[in-house]
Chain A
């Protein structure tokens, strides 16, 4: 058991199915089989200590499911997730290890219990893990945490509805930090916030990472935000990571046709007055994914092989890509 392994979280071949069958009686009457949604399909990654892995993708690509798998809210249907070198389920059964992972959520209005005072919200993990015992110590620690995220210690007396969205997200971060974790899963932490507040929260998260040596799994649909935060970046499409590598490399030199499409599709400040032809098509339903490469119906480079054979992950330089066209050298534009 290595207390300080270099890799904090490692996922190998993780797949997660959801049962989306209709209720039993209806299924029997209609004579229908069970139906499964493959939310996450053969996903592998490793997050080295003190770094940020960002996963980006459109809605339904499975990125939030990965976030929940990573903290053990869901178990994988197959594959293996290890936290600090131990199987995640085993790690989560020990308070000492469970304490070292926590999560920050998307919706600052739903992530704080509206009936609790802020100090109790922030203190909940401290009490759950019995990190401190006396009320005075807990109060002092809560005040310290609130100050650390840019609020005042006295704010602990208030209720969540007295705060703005950005302030609530700070409270959420204070709660996540109160168990003294070293691994944080951040599920779209700024997508419900206004841009100027988003900048405050992103800056805060980076500062905290440097100061406390935190490791982040950062989930977002916003490529610009991801570029700002990511050390490594994974692009997800229909449950699969289609391209993964060092963030700067993926942005500067996108290889997978989907990554390229995303980068082209996003309106950007530097594009004033630039006309461009957007890519057509929409994300197919994950219940009935297309055979072969899931992106082939929208892909300009698709050929017969793409329509039948699922591409494997292949290493190209520092980047791993799952695309036949890239492998065969057809992707060079």
Chain B
């Protein structure tokens, strides 16, 4: 099985594409660094006991006053920037992933039902998606977050903030998935293998789940990859605007916002390094998504 996979056209075109190989390596490095942060990071930025104001705002190692203890320098509270980035990436990636999974579940369900049922169900569901598509996703996310802040008690809200963000970003991104899945479902449901299942009397949910779903998953997963980058950016934007994660639990966006205050006083590294990290990661994810789309599109082969 593995040998057959390694010999497939998919793997072949992957190995022939330097962009795909490099961006995969970068994404892998990000994931390993983020998931392994508790073991790999040189410091624990959340361990208040290890923080010392004496270490605050140290420059990166390659500058005159830099030390090897803090390769990318420290922030105003003496937190190691490299470690903060690793932990921040972990939070950013987690929110991005969870938001996309949430959006996928909603989008695929809506798309499948709309495409398979057709008629009034389809019209209703698609009008809802159309309306939602007219709002910028960041606006929806802001709205959800605002409502959550107003409704939930303060300390409970802080603990729930990650889930609020996942919901806010996910709810803003599902319509695109729903549309893609509906489009593929319309094609698949007219195919004869679906008719064969109907002839023997299978129920609609069973046909949707076992026959149509596996055949519409490909395109939507490609879009999900591209949307993962955007979801991470959504989270960073919200955190940068101050409605995302609090500084006690900083994501990449939070780090950039904190560091932003020091940009003009000369301590650029506090904000630039998280920024570069965010850009490189999102760019790699997008390049990978682009390549996937082309590699899986038979017409471009």
Task: Answer whether residue A73 sits at the interface, using C-beta atoms and an 8 A cutoff.
Answer: yes
| B191 nearest CB across to chain A (Å) | 4
| Interface presence of B193 (CB below 8 A) | yes
B195: chain A residues within 8 A (beta carbon): 68, 73, 103, 105, 111
CA distance A175 to B193 in the complex (A): 11
Output the residue of B192, B198, B202, B215 with the most chain A CB within 10 A. B192
| Contact present for A105 and B192 (CB under 8 Å) | yes
- Interface flag for B153 (CB, 8 Å): no
How many Å lie between the Cα of A175 and that of B215 in the bound state? 20
The 8 A CB mask of B205-239 against A (1 = contact, 0 = none) is: 00000010011000000000000000000000000
Query: In the complex, how many angstroms separate the beta carbon of B299 from the nearest chain A beta carbon?
Result: 17
Known pairs A113-B215, A115-B214; A103 contacts B199 (CB<8 A): yes
Contact A115/B200 with A106-B192, A107-B192, A110-B191 known, Cβ cut-off 8 Å = no
Which residues on the A side are within 8 Å of B211 (C-beta)? 113
Looking at B195, B197, B201, B202, the one whose CB has the most chain A CB atoms below 10 A away is: B201
Interchain CA distance A113-B197 in the complex, whole Å? 10
- A92's partner among B197, B201, B202 (CB-CB below 8 A) is B201
Contacts of A68 in B (CB 8 A): 195
- Cβ distance A89 to chain B, nearest Cβ, rounded Å: 12
Tell me, in angstroms, the Cα distance from A98 to B202 when the chains sit together.
11
Give A91 Cβ to nearest chain B Cβ, in Å.
11
A259 within 8 A of B: no
Q: Is there an interface contact between A129 and B200, defined as CB atoms closer than 8 Å?
A: yes
Chain A residues contacting B196 (CB-CB under 8 Å) are: 103, 105, 111, 172, 175
Contact (Cβ within 8 A) A112 B193: yes
A213 close to B (CB within 8 Å): no
Q: How many residues on chain A are close to B (CB under 8 Å)? A: 27
A190 in contact (CB, < 8 A): no
A124 touches B214 (CB 8 A): no
Alpha-carbon gap, A130 to B211, bound state (A): 19
Decide if A73 touches B201 in the complex (CB within 8 Å): no
Report if A125-B214 is in contact (Cβ < 8 Å); known contacts: A103-B195, A110-B191, A113-B193.
Answer: no
Residues A102 and B199 in contact, CB atoms below 8 Å apart: yes
For B214, the chain A residues whose CB sits under 8 A away are 113, 115
A138 at the interface (CB under 8 A from B): no
- Given contacts A113-B215, A115-B214, are A102 and B193 in contact (CB under 8 A)? no
Could you tell me which residues of chain A, from 68 to 119, have a CB within 8 Å of some CB in chain B? 68, 71-73, 92, 95, 98-99, 101-103, 105-107, 110-115
Whether B199 lies near A101 (C-beta < 8 A) is: yes
**Contacts of B11-41 to chain A: CB distance below 8 A:** none
Which residue in chain A gives the minimum CB-CB distance to B206? A128
Q: Report how far A214 CA is from B250 CA in the complex, Å.
A: 71
How many angstroms between the C-alpha atoms of A111 and B200 in the bound complex? 14
User: Is B215 in contact with A73, judged by CB distance below 8 angstroms?
Assistant: no
Picked from B192, B193, B200, B215, the residue with its CB within 8 Å of the CB of A98 is B200
Given the interface pairs A114-B215, A115-B214, the reply to whether A128 lies near B201 with Cβ below 8 Å is yes
Please name the residue on chain B nearest to A126 by beta carbon. B200
Q: Which residues of B contact A115 (CB under 8 A)?
A: 214-215
Nearest CB of B to A240, in Å: 25
> Looking across the interface, which residue of chain B has its beta carbon closest to that of A106?
B192
A115 to B191, CA, bound (A): 14
What is the bound-complex CA distance between A157 and B283, given in angstroms? 41
Q: Is the CB of A128 within 8 A of B200?
A: yes
Whole-angstrom distance between the alpha carbons of A101 and B197 in the complex? Answer: 12
Asked if B200 and A179 make an inter-chain contact with CB atoms under 8 angstroms apart, the answer reads yes
State whether A110 and B200 are in contact (beta carbons under 8 Å apart), knowing that A115-B214, A115-B215 are contacts in the complex: no
User: Which residue of the partner chain A has the closest CB to B197?
Assistant: A124
Bound-complex Cα distance A124 to B214 (A): 16
What A residues does B198 contact at CB under 8 A? 73
Which B residues are CB-close (under 8 A) to A114? Answer: 215
Find chain B residues with CB under 8 A from A110 CB: 191-193
Which B177-193 residues have C-beta < 8 A from chain A? 191-193
Residue of B nearest to A72 (CB): B199
| Docked pose: A72 CA to B199 CA in angstroms | 7
- Which residues does chain B contribute within 8 Å of A73, judged by CB atoms? 195, 198-199
**CB-CB < 8 A to B197: which residues of A?**
124
Whether the pair A125, B200 counts as a contact (CB closer than 8 A) is yes
CB-CB under 8 A from B201, the residues of chain A are 92, 95, 98, 128
Shortest Cβ distance from residue A52 to the other chain B in the assembled complex, whole angstroms: 19
Interface residues in chain A, defined as those with a beta carbon under 8 Å from any beta carbon in chain B: 68, 71-73, 92, 95, 98-99, 101-103, 105-107, 110-115, 124-125, 128-129, 172, 175, 179
14 new A-B contacts, CB < 8 A, other than A101-B199, A103-B195, are A73-B198, A73-B199, A92-B201, A98-B201, A111-B195, A112-B193, A113-B193, A113-B214, A114-B215, A124-B200, A125-B200, A128-B201, A172-B196, A175-B196
Binding site for A on B (CB under 8 A): 191-193, 195-202, 211, 214-215
Q: Which 9 A-B pairs have the closest CB atoms?
A: A111-B192, A105-B192, A115-B214, A113-B193, A110-B191, A110-B192, A103-B199, A125-B200, A98-B201
Complex A-B: 5 CB contacts under 8 Å: A73-B199, A99-B200, A113-B214, A115-B214, A175-B196
